[in-house]
Amino acid sequence: MNPTELARAIPKAELHIHIEGSLEPELIFALAQRNGVALAYSSVEALRAAYAFTDLQSFLDIYYAGASVLLTAQDFHDMAWAYFLRAQADHVVHAELFFDPQTHTARGVPMAAVIEGLAGACRRAEQELGISAALILCFLRHLSEADAFATLEAALPYRQHFIGVGLDSSEVGHPPEKFQRVFARCRDLGLRVVAHAGEEGPPEYMWQAIDLLKVDRIDHGVAAMQDPLLMAELAHTRLPLTVCPLSNLKLCVVDDLRDHPLKRMLDAGLCVTVNSDDPAYFGGYLNANYVQTTEALSLSRADVVALAKNSFEASFIDPAQRSAFL
Ligand code: ADE
Ligand code: ZN
């Protein structure tokens, strides 16, 4: 088996997937029709043609508009189920899914519809596909700390359905320190904590995520390459980074996949993993990320195995059960 074939076939965990970013244009149109929601695009093709992003914000504007078709628990279930079918085809055996409740509750969608719809799909994935699945609630960092606290309170009746919290949306100008108190409360509640940092923002935001939010993982983290001290720290602690190569390409964080730092991070001893971020928008699910990165960076079989192993090491699977995946 060559490295590309291995990249496709190897069992893997996905740890950085925004479930709203798995909404394919076809499903956006189907849900818009089912729910009587008007869209700004006349066809699936016209919508897909708009997926030409110049930076994170240009993507987020269209991503939040796409999510406006989600209204009922059934919608959230159907979106996640479509993702799980694709994940199974890519040999994903464990998935930790981000969701953005504020995107929905701000439109009047009940928290119960969001969480119960997604949790139902996770249960079904376990039963019917053998994929273990968990949910991570993300706070939108462009909104206030008070809004994050209110969202946490609204989600607590459904505490058993999510394992952790994250921080996403527009990074620059919204440093992790803004959410230090809400993350402390989440840690006190026994939630795992992760944060997007070092995607478009500076290494300083990664230090804040580590020192102030006390994260269990950093999402993206490619900016670590600019800070030798941070690279040494990450190699020493093996604090995992959930890297998303095709996302970085589509959002112009890198100009060419051949320039992506993933291999250099791996060689430096960091616990890096490969993930799809928003696969419906960035041109590929998890295997597309593994395969295209393997080819662009000439990864070896050993590199591919290390990435898959890292995905389980970095996961929030109960340590007692982790050995079953390795
Ligand atoms: N929300 C969905 N995808 C995101 C990304 N790549 N960065 C920040 N927020 C996001
Ligand atoms: Zn992300």
- The rounded Å distance from CA 16 to ligand 2 centre is 6
**Residues in the 5 Å CB sphere of ion ligand 2:** 277
Residue among 17, 98, 137, 169 to mutate when testing ligand 1 (max atoms within 8 A of CB)? 169
Q: Which ligand is nearest to the CA of 168?
A: 1
- The rounded Å distance from CA 175 to ligand 1 centre is 14
Residues 325 and 93: beta-carbon distance below 8 Å: yes
pLDDT in tens, 188-219: 999 999 999 999 999 999 999 999 999 999 99
Q: Is the ipTM of this complex over 0.85?
A: yes
What residue spans define the domains of the chain? 3-313
pLDDT in tens, 166-186: 999 999 999 999 999 999 999
Mean per-residue pLDDT of the chain: 97
Residue 21 Cβ contacting ligand 1 at under 6 Å: yes
**Per-residue confidence band for 87, with pLDDT thresholds at 50, 70 and 90:** very high
Residue among 15, 20, 23, 56 to mutate when testing ligand 1 (max atoms within 8 A of CB)? 56
- The rounded Å distance from CA 55 to ligand 2 centre is 13
pLDDT in tens, 239-286: 999 999 999 999 999 999 999 999 999 999 999 999 999 999 999 999
Residue 23 Cβ contacting ligand 1 at under 6 Å: no
Domain 3-313 matching CATH 3.20.20.140: the answer reads: yes
Q: In the chain, where does DSSP find H-type helix? A: 3-9, 25-35, 44-49, 56-66, 73-89, 101-105, 111-124, 145-155, 180-188, 203-211, 228-237, 245-250, 262-267, 279-282, 286-296, 301-313, 319-322
pTM of the model: 0.98
